[in-house]
Chains A and B, each alone.
Chain A
């Protein structure tokens, strides 16, 4: 197909989409904005996971298929903290809940970052100069191992925690209700994202990461400790996955050993959608998917409905891979990666 035809089709599609969004908005503005908020919240959680895929891909050109399972184990560890260590219930006082949630977040992030670093050390480091397929298969294997660890440790059923952050309305803007649990996710996610951006763009460690991702040998020649930089990247990615695990648990109150697979796949799609290796891209991709899901499941005017959510998300992925393989925000790099 010539580029002009694709361009015209693309424009027509975007126009239809716009009409659909505006149509839904005018049907019921306040419902639309509430759905929008749900999409934003879910997207933020996906974003935390997607950043881990993109960070690791950026530095090793490896799709770390075990990443979703690091998220799930982080969530499971958090459930143990909440249920067994702090023994929280819905009637626990707000002060205790805040302290316990903060401690849970710290423990889960620490656990997941150490787990992810250990995975790199044990499973990927030796394969760094092996053909690409070797670490990829290893990552798939690692994913199964982690799922089974979750299965053995927490069993086959969903682990439920009490709803600690209430889904009652914190405040309303017009007719849009901001619920505590959604607010908490957004309030936690965005500072993390800003911090991460700062870290990669402006700090010495971030420079080491960017240099290593572009040419590890040249980075070593500049005095960058490449092994340590890669470990740091896995640590960071793991920490974000752990935070996502806690937020997911707090928001949906249940988690199971195999949920990393699903969420991981969605987050991976988000990372590819935005342009794998690109931090902003991962976030844009994740918010896009979060919004598509929420719109599709929450709106009513000419909406396919929840049976179609996965199909829509993955059709979008395929379309992106065909027409814009570098992703929404990815750039065509001089090396052609």
Chain B
């Protein structure tokens, strides 16, 4: 587990994001530090995906600031944000359905200037997900949900990100796959990549994370070390389905 005192990699300060006139994020502040897995949990529609879309430049906040490695990226276009080192496996996976697994992985490395390590990185992804190696020439759109999820995570890794955003990586997967995905999330983190993890599966997420935030209708309702949140009565009742 990572130490609390690492440098801040990503910070959101009082971020307000809208869809037209719908006020989806009403002042979200959070941070991710070097070495951490930070989880963002909350009910459907709380604004978890919107938070990630604010960070990655697909929905620019109207107010507030987002900083990455000390630099403000609030209004940067999405393609520039990837280039500065933030990659993601988005909600719904968003693979390129008519490209093969290998081509999808290639797209993951699209913005990288050095192409020499491409092969090495593909091998690393195949090592993490041997199933992808078997399916390398299959069209991504024809793979099973679990395989697509692996491909989406692998594609994000191909960017050699300095911060990884994962939106519900366990969505729709069989329990055995869920275990496996979380194992891999931990492994990626152990190899040095900080992760911001959005999850419905609060139990698994809080187990894997060092810190967590609970989002309720566009606001941060609770935050703290993951193990404190696990003990928190409100969290246990609402998100862990206990007592």
A→B interface (CB under 8 Å):
204, 207-208, 210-211, 214-215, 217-226, 331, 333-335
Contacts and interface: CB of A to CB of B under 8 A. Distances in A.
Contact of B78 (A208, A215, A221): A221
A218 B94 contact: yes
The 7 closest A-B pairs by CB, nearest first: A223-B111, A334-B141, A220-B78, A223-B82, A218-B94, A214-B96, A222-B110
A334 B79 contact: no
Interface residues of B, number: 28
A335 B224 CA distance: 41
Interface string B119-160: 000000000000000000001011000000000000100010
Contact of A211 (B77, B107, B141): B107
A217 B79 CA distance: 10
Contacts of B108: 222
Contacts of A217: 58, 78, 94
B170 interface: no
A221 B90 contact: yes
Interface in B163-202: none
Contacts of B107: 207, 211, 219, 222
A220 B79 CA distance: 5
Given A220-B58, A220-B78, A207 B97 contact: no
B88 interface: yes
A314 B157 CA distance: 50
B79 A335 contact: no
Nearest to B92: A218
Contacts of B27: none
Interface in B24-42: none
Contacts of B97: 214-215, 333-335
B139 A334 contact: yes
Given A218-B96, A220-B77, A221-B90, 16 more contacts: A207-B106, A208-B110, A214-B97, A217-B78, A218-B90, A220-B57, A221-B78, A222-B110, A222-B111, A222-B155, A222-B159, A223-B82, A333-B98, A334-B97, A334-B141, A335-B97
